[in-house]
Structure formats: structure tokens, C-alpha cells
Amino acid sequence: MPPKKAAQEKKALLGRPGNNLKIGIVGLPNVGKSSFFNVLSKTDLGIARNFPYATIDPEEARVPVPDARFEWLCETYKPASRVPAFLTCIDIAGLTAGASTGAGLGNAFLSHVRAVDGIFQVVRAFDDAEVTHVEGDVDPLRDMEIISTELRLKDIEWVEKHLDGLKKSGRSLGNNSLADKAKKEEIATVEKMYKVLTVENKDIRKAEWTNREIDVVNGLQLLTAKPVTYLVNLSERDYIRKKNKWLPKIKAWIDEHNPGDPLIPFSVALEERLEAMEPEEREEEQKKIGAVSALPKITTAGYASLDLIRYFTCGPDEVRAWTIRRGTKAPQAAGVIHTDFENKFVCGEIMAYEDLREHGSESAVKAAGKLRQQGKPYEMQDGDIAYWKAGI
């Protein structure tokens, strides 16, 4: 009998565990962060002002994540209550060169970035004499370099401090105990982090890490470990004609420094104009100009960047999307609704959204043998529809 293949170890995720993850809107002052936050959240919380540090305390908004599956489920079940998935967005004060050493609102800014799980980096690529740029002129590549440098410098400072503490406490380590070996592994991982930041000049999220190393990396909550989505703020004219002199250069900068990070062009000016319209008027205007709002795409990209997925619970009372992290097992997914569902978990009755869409009703899905009973080892898939059974 051939030997069993060793099960492949599942890749651990960078970042905090959990489903209540947040994304921070980051950028230099006066690049359109607060205006973007306002249209994204449909509020005036982050009052946009034409001066640096208009946002000092970070503002927070829960933004619905568009999902055609959710809309179809609501049409099918016609529930009394509809609760979509949400992305929590934080508007963070503008960063300036020298923030890592406390310049401007540097220390507050960096602590706010540390508290979020992902970054929307707003980059200004429009000229407007009425909106001053903190660096004097518009140069998105310089702005991206400033933010990248400041985040990395702060990480280097934290890693140096942590490594120094580990080495001081590690002088008396032996080779025998498991605890001593674990401490030595931790020191080696932190030394590797320091090398990635200082010698390789890379962000932490762009290096290769084993699962054991990721546990150490996650413990430090480093700024450059957080996923980044670049949002390039264009003039309305450039966005509509899909042309801007900076876009190819920005794309080349990302490919060189942080390959694989998403780049989404948008226009705050257009988004503000569309937001002021009634839905029918907005639809007509988008047809007329031949361009659509980028907000749904941005929200979806932010949600995906945090490795978030959703499952649904459906019935006449409520259709609801529940946010979980990719890789979550059934009991933990049930626990998002109530801790008792996790603690007293029995099983889940699961069907895929695609199967319900294909067969048209739950009874038809069941008749086709596509309604599955899943136990504790089951890993939830994006779009699962679940009914949980828990003990008393």
C-alpha cells in the first residue's frame, strides 16, 4: 500500500485574526482623503478643509459592500430585513515627510495606521490651484515614496527595539528546553524582518514567510505588513477620458516597489457630483458621460484585500451577509452570529449560492443532493448559505 501523502500545510494569513477588520484611508494632506471618505460613507464626518491636518481624530464609517448575490437572495426570499456585508473605513490625518520622527501629527498618524488592518492609499494626480499641495507641487511618485519611506522607517524603529529586547533576554538561553528553542526562532525571525526592511528595502508583506514566522510577524502589527490598495485621484475630465500623464508612471512605481498591489483610478470631483444626484439622475449622468462611479469597485477591493469573505443566512425574516476571514472553519463562522453557536456547535446545513441560483429553491437544491451537512473541520467558502445546528 503506497504511503499517504503528507497533508499540505495551510498558509497562515498576515494580520490580526478575526472578522471585524478595518481599512484606513491614508495619504498626504490635501490629496482628497476626507472628500473621498465623505462620498464613500455618504456623510460629512471628515469635514474637508483646504489645509493640512483637517482630519486629526480618525473618523469611522461602515460602508456596505456591493454584492449581486445578496441582491438576488433578497429578491428571492423577500425578507423583512436585509443586512449586507460592511467594510469599516477610517479617515486618518494626512502624513508628511518626517512623520516617523514625530513631524506634523506623525506619532498620532502612525498609531492610527497601526490600529487598522489594511490601507487605502489616496494619491493625488490632479492639478488645482485652489487646493494647495503640502509639498508645493503635484508629484504622485514623490508622495508615494514619502509614505512608503515613513511607514518603513517606523517599522525599522519598532523592529530594532523589539530585537534589542529579545537579545537582552536571550543571552542566557540554552539549547535544551522547547521554550529556549522557540525564543531563538523568534529572534531569527525578527532578524529576518530587520533584513527585509533595511537590506532588501522591501515591505514586510512582500517577503516570503513560513507559518511559524507569520505568528511572530503578526505579533508586531507592523505598518508595512498591511495590504495596500492604491487609489489615484484624477480630475473628472481625466477619469472620464481614461487618460492621465501620471498613471503609467504610478503603475511602473507599484510594479517596481510593491508588485501585485491593486491600483484603482477614480475622481473625487465626479463622485461628489454623482452623490448629490437622485439615483435615476445619477444613472442617466453616468450613461451620458460614459463613465461610472468607482466606489463599488473600491469597496470590493478593500474587502478582498483583507482576505474577507461572506456567507449568508436566508429566510423570510432576514437575509444577512456575515463577514468572516478566508479559511474560517464552520464552528467559528457560526460563532460570528452568537458565541453559543460556536461553543455548542453540532453541524451546519450548507449549500452553495451557485446551486441555489441554478435550482431555484432550497427544496430543489435538497432534491438534487446539493444540501450538505458539514461538521467542525469544514472550511467555509465565499457565498455559502448556512443553517446552523447547535446543542442546548
From the annotation, which residues make up the binding site for ATP? 30-35, 234
Q: How far is CA 13 from CA 62, 111, 112, 181, 220, in A?
A: 23, 22, 22, 24, 14
Contact call for residues 114 and 218 (beta carbons, < 8 A): no
User: What distance in Å separates the CA atoms of residue 321 and residue 327, rounded to the nearest whole number?
Assistant: 17
By three-state DSSP, how is residue 172 classified? coil
Task: State the cell numbers at 196.
Answer: 527585509
Closest C-alpha among 85, 82, 200 to residue 152: 200
Identity of the residue numbered 6: A
Task: State the cell numbers at 278.
Answer: 437622485
Binding residues: 30-35, 234
Contact call for residues 100 and 110 (beta carbons, < 8 A): yes
**DSSP per residue, 90-113:** EE-PPP-TTGGGT-TTHHHHHHHH
Question: Dihedral angle at the C-alpha atoms of 40, 252, 209, 12, nearest 10 degrees?
Answer: 30
Q: What is the largest CA-CA distance in the chain?
A: 77
Closest C-alpha among 177, 48, 150, 13 to residue 95: 150
Strand ordering across the sheet containing 118-124: 59-64, 86-91, 22-26, 118-124, 228-233, 263-266
